[in-house]
Structure 1
Amino acid sequence: MSVRPTVWAPAAARVDLDLPADGTRLPMHRGDDGWWSAEVDLPHGTDYGFAVDGGPARPDPRSGWQPAGVHGPSRVFDAAAFAWSDDGWSGLDVRGAVTYELHVGTFTPEGTLEAAAQHLDHLVHLGVDVVELLPVAAFNGRHGWGYDGVALWAVHEPYGGPAALQAFVDAAHAHGLAVCLDVVHNHLGPSGNYLADFGPYLTDAHQTPWGAAVNLDQDGAEHVRRWICDSVLRWARDFHVDAFRLDAVHALVDESERHLLAQLSDEVADLSATLGRPLGLVAESDLNDVRSVTATRDGGWGMDAQWADDVHHAVHALLTGERHGYYVDFGDPQVLATALTQGFVHTGDLSTFRGRPWGRPVPEDVDGHRFVVFSANHDQVGNRALGDRPSAHLPPGRLAAQAALVLLSPFTPLLLMGEEWGARTPWQFFTDHPEPDLAAAVRDGRRREFGGHGWEELYGGPVTVPDPQDPATFAASVLDWSEPQVGEHARLLEWHRTLIALRRVVPDLASGDRSRTRVTVLPAPDAPHAGPWQGVLVVHRGATSVVLNLTDAPARVDVGGSAPRVLASWSTGAVVPPAEDGAAWAVELPGPGVVVVG
């Protein structure tokens, strides 16, 4: 297949097609709405670029392949050349599906999509439904989280490039796994972003934490919106991607009559109908507002699900005792009870961290599967001063409790790679910027960011923030695949497998009906507490109960019911029959421990 190059450059007086193989430039012809086209067809593998008004050649804003990096020429990629073997794949609804967050560069020592595919059996055995890839869009340098991508249609070459992504998705489907792609539309990285050479992709009319906003509602916005929507449709159509996690949608500043996300939702729904398989959209939103998952016909954005950070904060603060930063309003068991039943903790009340009221109430009819929850993710671990996971601090019993709270919740659970075995490798913030000034700015900015967060008190001494540019910071974050087979790692891995299996076969645990979830705190604390919470919780999921003893002493907990049986036990918990007529059945378990009965 060959392609006829086109590019949007509305203000340009002249655009040339640059062909570096023979050093020629061919004049392009202006069409409607600022689009330019060349009267030549380029076959697969041809390098090219665009020169605006006699300037240097720049990569195609819609480039599908950047083999020489984001500063090099684009290369024609024939997506139709791949021999797919997933004709039998009917897709998967992401709502309620167990999702596994994976960073290609640190998932394996090789750091490639091909190497990651070799561990798909591990994910199948774990019970995962969806593999969520952190951003693969091309960025400058070799190593990075991926959230500074600049070639949003291309696959980072060190990961294997676009053909490797197609092969990974095909292999995942062969294993019965869906693939979710984390995509970033709210900003672009600082190196290799040449979009301003072509047109108003960004606008100073709005500002975001990264500077000028992506232009969604100013002059030329219809073409920028097409650039975004067309990229998502292409990943689904040409790469068979099943779902998309949309990064920080609260930073998509759009004051137009129809929000970009509503447009995207409707277009993805149309493509889903055409393809005959589900396509999911999951929003990362900090707004605590179910508008994101409200249907577009009802004035919402039409997302299938959204991340719910409040559940993470409630679980983490309770189990660790941390109260700094945005954990200040969390840590109390009653707050956890709110999170596990509502999804949001802040629903219009004061957020101490933000210093103002935050969020909106969650209507009763919103299904729990609309919320993606987790006890760890790339942000919550990687944005700690040392990139330390909960497993660096929590004993095995509390890690088991953490897993039960998330995996047996009425929500859509997500695991961070390695969490399933309590990985002891950190996941730190790492970059590989070749430009000395940019490298220094990132390094200094990271140190300033963590200067006043109380980390010394948390870690019990002076803290040296890892240098993001040091190759050792990246290397330390690579998973150690020798861990899952040994000691408590193996036991914790088996515990995660057990909980996920229960979620599949026990209707109460699979349900997203929040009205059938309630939390009992025993005993109810009557005074403020500090440090990790000590007590007993029972999470009732219909007729099934998850009993968590978060003390160091044995506990006896009434669970009622008629001869309940132990479905899973981290500790040596046992069901105890009533001592007398009219008394309740009970569970006895040592601490810390977890027992699931039903």
Structure 2
Amino acid sequence: MSRLEVWAPFAQSLEARISGRTVPFAKTSEGWWRLAEAISPGTGYALSVNGKDPVPDPRSMRQPKGIDGPSQILDHSPFAWDDAHFQPRPLSSAMIYELHVGTFSQQGTFDGVIPYLDHLLDLGITHVEIMPINGFSGTRGWGYDGVNLFAPHEAYGGPDGFKRLVSACHAKGLAVILDVVYNHLGPAGNYLDWFGPYFTDHYQSPWGRAVNLDGAESHEVRRFFCDNAAMWLRDYHVDGLRIDAVHAFFDLSAIHFLEDLRQTADQIQAETGRHKILIAESDLNDPRTVRPTAAGGHGMDAQWSDDFHHALHAVLTGEKGGYYSDFGRISDIARALTRVFVYDNRFSAFRRRYHGRPVHGLSGHRFLGYLQNHDQVGNRALGERLSHLISPGRLKTGAAIMLLSPFVPMLFQGEEWAASTPFQYFTNHPDADLGEAVKKGRCKEFAAFGWDPDQIPDPQASDTFARCVLNWAEKEKSSHAEILEWYRQLIALRKNLPDAADGRMGRVQAAADDAAGWLVMTRGALTVACNLSGQTQLVPLSGADRMEIRLCPEKDPQITAAGIELPGDCVAVLYQNPAMEEST
């Protein structure tokens, strides 16, 4: 049995509608209200503030009839967990895989993911990062416009479905990271401001009203989101959270909201004896995000590194639109490999200001490196994957740089076999006007990249979603199988070569020639030599004749004391052979 408690500091009255009855709440203290009678699990209810139409509980743990329907009391205790002995691998040895539940399988559900976990294990994945699963408008979407933050999306399988997926992952040794969005809520089904000052007009967010993190009553707003984080980490046994767009947290408090989240995760870690990971998405290029709180930082375990992605993407594709205008030189890749941020208090022409802060004394394992992710694929006009834009040779070269970089690698679903399916932006808003507004907003956003608005798929169309569902049958066919094997080999090298997983940035050396089109990265005994020009050339590499080739698409490339000769758009992974060193 549960006794409902609701924070509604400015409400004059609060009532619950339960099975046709109206039951009043009693006001307690500090803006909280409590229902006198207990409600049994499975009971549906809705809340009426000041006599208005009933709406879902802000902390509803289940919404069986969607975001506007009645809430339902949920008891977590009946689920039989069997993962007591599971411990996630540390980030220092992690291989992360980002997936979207709705498009990962034909079923589009939590249960639909489970049969493919063996594929992830065979690939070498250690952590599965799942895009948002909170309740959102309609049945299909990315999840970033969630409104029922405590309720797993019903179309995916609801609370028990998500528990089954987490349990299955743990049974196979896979950790689960859940993507959460605390910087805004979606436009449909958002009733939070009926209950209290969850939002503020002091700041402007690009996605909706900014969350009130530092204004009056913000302590309860922060508690709301911290309690949400605690629920996923404790009740659903999630091993970590990826926190969306932390640069959109507008917080001038002495103790930043991210520090509150760190404290929450640490408390759950102490309770469960299982490490809880926090990963931030940030475009601030500020290393304070991942510095420990004791050292004046915000305490995140790691953050996404967009500069590394942008540097790679701009070189591999030649694109210069939007934020890619700040990139495009091979030396940018070298800078990212050695300094993490390309823009670390340097002038950004795209932003028309200085941007970023230098990284000092931090491991590369504090940063995630990726060639593709849901943003960088899905926020293209047509949702093209990198494999749709460049040659297989350039794709293999980019994968080698990413997977053998000093950063924690992250793959996006289907990347490992160069999936033919795109990943486009899709929605399913029942409100047609909202759907049209979303479509127009996307067209306006893409103007900065020079993309033709007439070519942009309608997010509301069902076939936009359908064409994004992975085609698993293709992964063992011809060119797809070739890329899959390349990824498997690179991941195996990262796991088996000690220097490949070394996060010490001081041991990374990178040289590049923008005019000639080559890049060489060295990390201890490991060397990655890349020819990104369109023609065969000698990539300078001192002592190359004392190295052995561990992986190269080209059979038997010529090696001399001066370097390695590679065809255009080719990469070679070399390793210093101690026996060869001793014989010279």
Question: In the aligned structure 2, how far is the partner of 1:254 from the partner of 1:338?
Answer: 31
Q: CA offsets per residue over residues 396-454 of structure 1, 9 Å max, x none?
A: 11110111111100001111101001112111111111112111111222222223532
Match of 1:229 in 2: 226
- Residue 552 of structure 2 corresponds to 569
Q: Does 1:131 align with 2:114?
A: no
CA-to-partner distance for each residue in 1:530-569, whole Å, 9 max, x for gaps? xxxx622221111111122223443444351673222222
Counterpart CA distance in 2 for 1:535 and 1:437 is 49
The reply to whether residue 538 of structure 1 matches residue 517 of structure 2 is: no
SS for the counterpart of 2:77 is helix
Paired with 1:62 and 1:482, the residues of 2 have a C-alpha distance of 41
Judge conservation of contact 1:516–1:541 (CA < 8 Å) in 2: yes
Which residue in 2 is equivalent to 1:85? 82
Is the counterpart of residue 29 in structure 1 residue 26 in structure 2?
A: yes
Aligned to 1:596: 573
Please provide the CA RMSD for this pair: 1.6
The code of the aligned residue for 2:459 comes to P
Cα distance, 1:239 vs structure 2: 0.5
Q: Give the equivalent residue in structure 1 for 2:582.
A: none
- Residue 85 of structure 1 and its aligned partner are, at CA, apart by 1.3
Q: Secondary structure at the match of 2:447?
A: coil
Secondary structure at the residue paired with 1:227? helix
Measured in 2, the distance between the counterparts of 1:591 and 1:545 equals: 18
Q: Aligned residue for 1:9?
A: 8
Q: Counterpart amino acid of 1:104?
A: V
- Residues 544 and 563, structure 2, Cα contact 8 Å, conserved in 1: no
> Which is further off, 435-444 or 413-422?
435-444
Counterpart among 537, 559, 564 of residue 587 in structure 1? 564
Indicate if the aligned counterparts of 2:17 and 2:47 stay in contact, CA closer than 8 A.
Answer: yes
Counterpart in the other structure of 1:467: 458
1:419 and 2:415 matched: yes
Percent of residue pairs identical:
48
2:547 is paired with a residue whose SS is coil
Paired residue for 2:500?
Answer: 509
> What is the CA distance between 1:333 and its match in structure 2?
1.1
Query: 5+ unaligned residues in a row in structure 1: which ranges?
Result: 457-461, 527-533, 579-583
Post-superposition offset of 1:314:
0.4
CA distance in structure 1 between the partners assigned to 2:447 and 2:536 by the alignment = 42
Q: How does 1:264-275 map to 2 (within 5 A)?
A: 264-275=261-272
Alignment check: 8 A CA contact 2:92 2:501 kept: no
Residue 214 (structure 1) aligned to one of 195, 211, 215: 211
C-alpha distance in 2, partners of 1:570/1:345? 29
Structure 1 window deviating more from structure 2 (547-556 vs 136-145): it is 547-556
**Structure 1 residue aligned with 2:579:** none
Equivalent residue, structure 1, for 2:46: 49
CA shift for structure 1 position 380: 0.7
**Do 2:213 and 2:221's aligned partners in 1 also have CA atoms closer than 8 Å?**
yes
Equivalent-residue separation in structure 1 for 2:570 and 2:542 (angstroms): 16
Paired residue total = 574
After superposition, residues 160-175 of structure 1 pair within 5 angstroms as: 160-175=157-172
| Residues 235-294 of structure 1: CA deviation (Å, up to 9, x unaligned) | 111101001100000111111121111111122112212211110000101100011011
**1:49 Cα deviation after fit:** 1.6
TM-superposed deviation, 1:590: 3.2
Aligned partner letter, 2:497 = V
Within-5 A mapping of 1:270-281: 270-281=267-278
Deviation digits for residues 350-378 of structure 1, max 9, x if unmatched?
A: 11111111111111x11111111111111
Alignment of 1:134-533 (within 5 A): 134-363=131-360, 365-455=361-451, 464-521=455-512, 524-526=513-515
SS of the residue corresponding to residue 500 of structure 2 reads helix
1:55 is matched by which residue type in structure 2? K
Aligned-partner residue type, residue 594 of structure 1: V
Distance 2:165 2:44 in 1: 25
Secondary structure, in 3 states, of the residue corresponding to 2:220?
A: helix
Q: CA shift at 1:382, angstroms? A: 0.8
Distance 1:39 1:519 in 2: 66
Matched residue SS, 2:140: coil
Distance 1:252 1:195 in 2: 18
Q: Which runs of 5+ in 2 are unaligned?
A: 576-584
Task: Give the match's secondary structure for 1:57.
Answer: coil
Compute the TM-score of the two structures, normalised by the length of structure 1.
Answer: 0.93
The CA distance in 2 between the partners of 1:131 and 1:156, in whole Å, is: 18
The CA deviation at 1:105 is 0.6
